[in-house]
Amino acid sequence: QVQVVESGGGLVQAGGSLRLSCAASLRTFSVTTIGWYRQAPGKQRESVAIIGSGNTTNYAESALGRFTISRDNAKNTVYLQMNSLKAEDTAVYYCNGRAPLINAWGQGTQVTVSA
């Protein structure tokens, strides 16, 4: 059974930083596309950053220049470094792992940025 577990959320002041981690129990982790998504209260879930198996990355416009996604295949973990956080970054952040026949979501981790 595939498991995806997020960690690293918390409360931070505006301008601060957080690093989220996504650990996935996937034997095919190295060829899995991992994405970070977020959902704020009353809003739809949106993509934040995605990293492919070849370390290609894609960022939402709101994340460009502030967030960095990276992966450590030896640890089956993807990271999201978030800097210069803003109040509008407050949301539940979810990790998603996709590979052939796999589409796994974690339970999410809360990020709250105080103004």
Name the strand (E) or helix (H) holding 57.
strand 57-59
Residues above pLDDT 90, as percent of the chain: 84
Interatomic CA distance for residues 76 and 73, integer angstroms: 5
pLDDT tens for 26-51 read: 888 888 999 999 999 999 999 999 99
At 29 the pLDDT is 86
CA distances from 56 to 35, 53, 93 (A): 12, 7, 21
Tell me: the pLDDT tens digits for 61-90? 999 999 999 999 999 999 999 999 999 999
